[in-house]
Amino acid sequence: MTVYMIVVVPMPHKRGVMKRINEEANRPFKSGDVRQDGYIFKSYKLTLGIKKDGYYGEAWYKPMSYQNLVDNNKKRKARIYNYITRFLNKWKTKNGCYICQQEFRSTSLQFHHIDRQNKSGNVSEIWRTSWAGIVNLKKEIRKCKVVCYNCHTLINIRDSKKCQTFGH
């Protein structure tokens, strides 16, 4: 951890508001910066608005409080990730493979987009560490059918042959 001396230098922000910056680093403070008294910078408080001196508020924590905050965030993200993973597994195993109706293991099932033109991303690549992630996942899986790995491969081979036939 680097310890910085606090020197207030105004820095215009994109909204014309000022952020205090560290003169030694010549940049705004970033999460994890430590000041002389041992307090650790977490973030600028943009949502609370601008203080009377024209700067955003800042969140500085005692080292132990900062570590608790970091640990709790990791635990919270892990809980959300596990919840969303369980949700996806239940969704997949609910009916099994749409095509062969023989596979019901969530690890063998995949989401296949019915219309690739309507696809905004791969379900497996959507971020799963926030509650906003589950909203995005639900929107995306409504555009899909659940199929097993074998059927999905056959569908993709068939689709790629169609594209070659039509000169795409």
Residue-wise pLDDT for 32-42, tens only, equals 988 889 999 99
| Nearest-angstrom CA–CA distance, 76 and 68 | 12
Summarised one tens digit per residue, pLDDT across range 115-137 is 888 888 888 888 777 888 888 88
Residues 21 and 9 sit within 8 Å (Cβ to Cβ): yes
- In 3D space, the residue among 82, 78, 103 whose CA is nearest the CA of residue 92 turns out to be 103
Q: Tell me the pTM.
A: 0.66
pLDDT > 80? residue 83:
yes
Q: Identify the DSSP state of 167.
A: T
| Nearest-angstrom CA–CA distance, 33 and 137 | 35
| Crossing angle for the helix pair 63-95 and 131-141, to the nearest 10 degrees | 20
| Residue with token string 């097993």 | 148
pLDDT > 50? residue 139:
yes
